[in-house]
Structure 1
Amino acid sequence: MLNRRQLRVKVMQTIYAMSASGSQNIDTQEKFLVKSMNDMEVLYYLLIDLFNQLHKQHQDLQEKSSKKHLASKEELKPNQKFSNNKLVKLITDSLLLAEKMESLKSNFWKNHEEYIRIIYDKMIESQIYQDYVADSTSNFKNDRDFIVKLYSEVIAPDEKLYEFLEDSSLTWLDDLPLVNTFLLKTFRQLKTEETSKELLIKLFRDIEDRDFA
């Protein structure tokens, strides 16, 4: 995930943060650097899992609407385009991704469900979403391109999400541009024949890069 130039940036951020705090303890600086890099990996997976949470929100709301006493024709038979999005399904059905989230022991979104609803509402109100669900085209490329556009133009620039992540972790705000870039690159490279393991990343390319940091 991180090349050596990016590793140098992380090291400089750590040095700056520790200098600003007045700490000269090398062990403390090293632990902060390792935690910062691990937190970057967590952020990457949380942002992927965000689509899992949006999918659940979508399914739950459609199910509730269909059970209303005086449900409309649209509520009884809602548009399933987003529910059946092939890239989102790749994420929601991925056992590897579920295992990774379990290993991180993260209940992040469950503890902050209000932000899922904020992002979900912004998603369905966007013209990008409206154009997507109105289009009858159904293939992996179309679904993938929608997710890439949705993330880059609606989700990533969202100020509420930006402020929330800033409040959640000391380093996430600095890491967000890089993680966004890597996430979008990962999505764009996915093909229909690829499995969800392509969504999984390694923080370091190899042991030498870890030692370099």
Structure 2
Amino acid sequence: MLNRRHIRKKVMQSLFELQLTNSQNLDPAYKKLNDSLQNVHNLYALQLQLFTVILQKAQKLNKASQETLLSANKSDKAVRLVNNMFFNHINSSQELAMFIENNKLANWELDDEYASLFLNEILSSEFYQKYTQESSSFEKDRELILFVFKKIIAPNDKLYSYYEDSCISWVDDLPIVNTVILKQLKKMNIAEPLEMVKLYKDAEDKMFARTLLNKVYLNDDELAKYVDEKTPKWDADRIATIDAILMKMAICEFLKFPSIPVKVTINEYLEIAKEYSTKKSSVFINGILDSLSKDFKEANKLQKMGRGLM
């Protein structure tokens, strides 16, 4: 789920907080970094769980209709949703249920109005009206769940605000989580139990965040010196804190991470700078990093392993 760029963003935020607090203790920083990364997985689980709570609301609506014999009201329309193969497949996932329980994610138990809101939007949508008039099929069921996610859940402003109030980092995490879920829905195989997407691609990615934070922090003076040498006419205060952190992280990757190509490092931090700083900052950072990479190469300081890594 997490790509290296998102991991770099989390490390950048941790380094920024360390600098603001002037902390000399890395243990709390490691914990906060780990918690921030774990929160991405929590958000993913909550977004996925929305399908189960919507389905459960529809089931209750259907049951109430049958018990009160209100055959003409809108609850009858929920029958097709209740029988949707993909909603039921997610709802039957033991792995998702265990994750929710183990991480004590009670959001939709405490704030169940979102499930009601989404159910009402689904039942009143033109797409759903057409869906109920067509014959049931595997593909039609997939089309419905994709519609619900892309058009109702993902773009919902109230849900966005809710996540922002619940955990500030979720604002940054939501786009990557939504992309992962959309891909998962498109490829979902209902013949096999639903497995949650793993937080990290592999053990190396899992260690990357902690290692990068550690190496940048412990080598701060050395990394800052390289920036200072390339900006002799600049006072340190004139360089934005975020820009300085991004440059030090990139220089650290140049010198301390032999498996990461120089071009990849530069491109990654330029993209992060565009998101968190200014366009002028990305141009400034690009000039510094490009110049330093050439200096390091000439001085034989780039000990990169593998073909095409220089």
TM-score range with shorter-chain normalisation? Answer: 0.7 to 0.9
Partners of 2:142 and 2:117 in 1: CA distance: 22
Residue 54 (structure 2) pairs with residue 54 (structure 1): yes
Partners of 1:82 and 1:166 in 2: CA distance: 29
What is the match of residue 12 of structure 2? 12
Say which SS state the counterpart of residue 82 (structure 1) adopts. Answer: helix
Residue 80 (structure 2) pairs with residue 81 (structure 1): yes
Q: Which residues of 2 match residues 28-177 of structure 1 at below 5 A?
A: 28-68=28-68, 71-73=70-72, 80-139=79-138, 141-177=139-175
Letter in 2 for 1:146: L
Note the C-alpha offset of 1:123: 2.1
Partners of 1:180 and 1:120 in 2: CA distance: 19
Structure 1 length-normalised TM = 0.87
In the TM superposition, structure 1's runs of 4+ consecutive aligned residues that sit over 6 Å from their partners are none
Partners of 2:160 and 2:34 in 1: CA distance: 23
Note the C-alpha offset of 1:194: 3.2
Note the C-alpha offset of 1:39: 0.7
CA contact (8 A) 1:128 1:150 kept: no
Structure 1, residues 39-97: CA drift from partner, whole Å, max 9, x if none?
Answer: 110010111111100001001112112222x6235679655211111111111112222
Name the count of aligned residue pairs. 207
Max Rg structure? 2
Partners of 1:2 and 1:169 in 2: CA distance: 18
CA contact (8 A) 1:52 1:91 kept: yes
Q: Answer with 122-131 or 35-44: which moved more.
A: 122-131
Partners of 1:55 and 1:24 in 2: CA distance: 49
Partners of 2:179 and 2:88 in 1: CA distance: 22
Structure 1 regions of 5+ residues with no counterpart? none
Partners of 1:129 and 1:210 in 2: CA distance: 41
Partners of 1:47 and 1:94 in 2: CA distance: 14
2:201 to 200, 205, 211: 205
CA RMSD, 1 decimal: 2.1
Say which SS state the counterpart of residue 27 (structure 2) adopts. Answer: helix
Partners of 1:131 and 1:36 in 2: CA distance: 42
Say which SS state the counterpart of residue 80 (structure 1) adopts. Answer: helix
Partners of 1:73 and 1:124 in 2: CA distance: 14
Letter in 2 for 1:35: D
What is the match of residue 278 of structure 2? none
Partners of 1:152 and 1:77 in 2: CA distance: 24
Note the C-alpha offset of 1:142: 2.3
CA contact (8 A) 1:123 1:154 kept: yes
Cα distance change of structure 1 residues 163 and 77 upon mapping to structure 2, 3 Å threshold: closer
Asked which structure has the greater RCO (Cα within 8 Å, sep 6+), the reply is: 1
2:192 to 191, 194, 198: 194
Structure 1, residues 115-174: CA drift from partner, whole Å, max 9, x if none?
Answer: 2212222222222222222221321x3212221121111111111111111111121111
Structure 1, residues 19-44: CA drift from partner, whole Å, max 9, x if none?
Answer: 68x22323333222111111110010
Note the C-alpha offset of 1:184: 0.6
* Identity, % of aligned positions: 34
Structure 2 length-normalised TM = 0.62
